[in-house]
Structure 1
């Protein structure tokens, strides 16, 4: 058996240890620990102040650089599309504010915006597959060899829209052809195209504004399966072949959006240009510059991504009336 004295010694030891701890904690250790914590808090305060000052300085520098880029870019953009007729077409639900900002840049470049339209959801929805097929089949024989016999529905519809926006009634004419008028009316009537204002003249260049991937309001259970006849890249390439100058612009690329799909397609990157980052004011300056470059045959992908370059090349369209878009004498040699 354990003697009572053993319990008594144990209790005395516990209380002695507690008393020593209290004495040391209230005495020399208290000051040491307090001083250490105070030093640490002061060091953190100094570090926070330094980081805040550094951030403020970096933000000022960034603002100054951005202001310089915008000012220099505005000088570069001015007149870059002088008197070029441009049709603006939304692909997806592009915000009115974003479109207005881009159109403002086009107008600052001297472009004439001759149409503002939208490709509706009927281009991609599963429920409109029969509509798309019917329209495409009805127009195959009306396109004078512009589409192959085995062209897909998407390719035919892309060609139709390209012709509807750009075909003139004669070389150098500013009047739309009868076919262009009829095709645009057809697309509008069947609900494939909506118009803010319909084409007033044949466009010389087409800007497709992509909404990108919409993250808000998308149900997690929503099916991502694409109907078999839907091929956005094929439709855009067909439009490029019919229109001659097509540029696709959208926000910073995300997996599955139109710009990234085009940049991952070798055939697309060889014939048409893309611009990303439209949510940034400085990148919206690239839109008229990319259109001007594409107009004279300079194809490129522009943005901050690894597979893009930041700034399109500067081109001069002043002598385009006397010079072909390939740089040769328009009157021949």
Structure 2
């Protein structure tokens, strides 16, 4: 049985240890601990100052590199799309500043913007599923040469949009066909397309712009997407009718239209994509990528592991040059051979 003396000894030991700790802490160890903490604080302050200076230096270098890239890129882009007509379609919520800069880059490359439009919420809203189905069913017969019976509503509407923007008429390549005019008027009338300015001629390339990926928080209270909505089918239908399609959008880390297209192996082999459009220097890639697509050298451009940073620089064929080369060759043959067949 433990008696009172045992408890007394335990209490004395506890108080003795406490007294020793106080004495040591207030005496010999006080200066040592204080000096150690002071040294650590000074080291952290010096490290913070060094990191701040390094960050400022890195930001300055990055700014200089971006300025150089923009200046050099402008020279690289200049003339890459001479004589090419482009239709710009806002497929998601693209900021006005980004879209305006992309349009400026295209025009600086020599392209002519023949249409600028936006897809409305009716392309995705569940409330407009019947509208989409009705419009698609009404156009299946007209588009039977490029779609089949299994093509989804999104695919039919994509093919209709591509024809409305690119099909030429019998009068020549610079004139829209009657079918393209009627299709565009239909898409506008039913509220699927809104125009910044309506098509003034057929486009050689359709540029589909994607905005920032929609997060779960951003969709709170927003209209739900219909079950028939399929971005990949939309782009596939657009490519089937327009043939040369370029999809551009922000970096694909959080998904979006660029990531969806790249994830489909068959579609990714046909459509050129550009990511990183949230950065001014990457928007220089848009005209270069459009030229690569027209030259059958398209691909996927951006900073992702499965993409190439810079598109190839291509020289698009000039119809006048081709005609001139052909004529020069004939003249040379005629001038270089006499009646006897000798040179």
Matched residue, 1:153: 153
Distance 1:14 1:259, change over 3 A: closer
- Counterpart residue number, 1:38: 38
1:219 corresponds to: 220
Task: Give matches, 1:71-86, under 5 Å.
Answer: 71-86=71-86
Deviation at 1:12, TM superposition (A): 7.0
> Does structure 2 retain, via aligned residues, the 8 Å contact 1:274–1:300?
yes
The answer to whether the 8 Å contact 1:212/1:254 transfers is no
Match in the other structure for 1:287: 286
How far apart in 2 are the matches of 1:155 and 1:3?
91
CA distance in 2, matches of 1:319, 1:184: 30
- Structure 2 gap ranges (5+): 331-343
SS at structure 2 position matched to 1:87: strand
Secondary structure of 1:218's aligned partner = coil
The 8 Å contact of residues 169 and 177 in structure 1, kept in 2 or not, is answered as: yes
Scaled by the length of structure 2, the TM-score of the pair is 0.85
Inter-partner Cα distance in structure 2 for 1:14 and 1:93: 70
Cα offset, 1:39, TM superposition: 1.6
Where does residue 232 of structure 2 map in the other structure?
Answer: 233
Matches for 1:102-141 after TM superposition, within 5 Å: 102-141=102-141
Q: Could you state the TM-score of these two structures normalised by the residue count of structure 1?
A: 0.87
Aligned residue pairs, count: 327
Say which SS state the counterpart of residue 142 (structure 1) adopts: coil
Aligned to 1:181: 181
Between Structure 1 and Structure 2, which shows a larger proportion of helix residues? 2
DSSP 3-state at the match of 2:278: coil
Residues 202-229 of structure 1 deviation map (CA, whole Å, 9 limit, x = unaligned): 11111000124223532299867x51x3
Q: Is the 8 A contact 1:269 1:299 kept in 2?
A: no
Deviations 1:112-162 (A, max 9, x none): 111110111222222222222221222222236233344332222111111
- How far apart, CA to CA, are the structure 1 residues paired with 2:116 and 2:47? 53
Separation in structure 1 between the aligned mates of residue 148 and residue 20 of structure 2, nearest angstrom: 96
Deviation of 1:237 after TM superposition, in Å, equals: 1.6
Correspondence for 2:258 = 259
Structure 1 unmatched ranges of 5 or more: none
Deviates more, 1:42-51 or 1:137-146: 137-146
Q: Determine if contact 1:213/1:254 at 8 Å carries over to the other structure.
A: no
C-alpha displacement at 1:275, in angstroms?
Answer: 0.6
- Deviation by residue 1:5-55 (Cα, 9 ceiling, x = unmatched): x95x87777666555544433332211111111222222222222222222
Change (3 A) 1:34 1:169: same
Q: 1:280 to 1:151 in 2, by over 3 A?
A: same
